[in-house]
Amino acid sequence: MQNETPSAAEAAFAFFTRDEAAAVEAAMARIFPDDDLGPGALAAGALTYVDRALAGADHDLQGVYRRGIRHLNDAAQDRHGVAFAGCLPGQQDAMIESLERGTLFGPDEVLTASALFAALRAHTIEGMFSDPVHGGNRDFAGWRLLGYPGPQPSYSHAEQQLDAPIIRDRIFSAADYPLPDPGEVA
């Protein structure tokens, strides 16, 4: 049985509120959708990745997301009568395009719009292709899309030749190479 991906409404978050997560989830689904080549950002767990990143290493972007999502939902409400997550895909696409151009919010919020789009786009890509140990790239979806076998413990002489295909029985991640406990290092 396939792993079921929890929706924003069902998941517990480290940083996002449920409404914020729903907006980010909807935006990520439009930025990197599922297609005939494979799963997109949502199935790959990009929402989990960005939530963890904002609660940790990217905590400096928390304000960008909080302010930006509030403005995104306000713009959606003004234009379409619902929060961003409730808009139709075409409406979401048009709003994301305006967000990218910096024209979705008022003239005083051009930087907020541009910063939110840049962060959303970067986090969507990172959540799609980063090591699964960080919460995204669920079931190696992004790496499988690229044909990347993950960090390998070693390569044979034949695999090190130019244009040699590398075909492995399994994909490795950082979780396969745990760091030593700092208390154990002498």
* Mean per-residue pLDDT of the chain: 87
3-state secondary structure of 35: strand
Identify the helix (H) or strand (E) that includes residue 90. helix 89-101
Q: Tell me the mean pLDDT in the region 112-133.
A: 93
What is the percent of the chain where pLDDT is above 90? 59
pLDDT at position 186, please? 53
The string of pLDDT tens digits covering residues 20-65 is: 999 999 999 999 999 998 899 999 999 999 999 999 999 999 999 9
pLDDT band at 2 (very low <50, low <70, confident <90, very high): very low
Q: Taking 90 as the threshold, does the pLDDT of residue 19 lie above it?
A: yes
Say which residue, 168 or 104, is predicted with more confidence. 104
d(CA 183, CA 160): 37
- pTM of the full structure: 0.80
Neighbours of 11 (CB within 10 A): 15
Q: Taking 50 as the threshold, does the pLDDT of residue 1 lie above it?
A: no
Residue 97 CA to its chain's centroid (Å) = 18
Which residues are CB-contacts of 100 (< 8 A; sequence separation ≥ 6)?
114, 117, 121
Q: Which residue from 61, 62, 59, 24 is spatially nearest to 45, judged by alpha carbons? A: 24
Residue 162 CA to its chain's centroid (Å) = 33
Q: Tell me the mean pLDDT in the region 163-177.
A: 76
Q: Tell me the mean pLDDT in the region 124-143.
A: 92
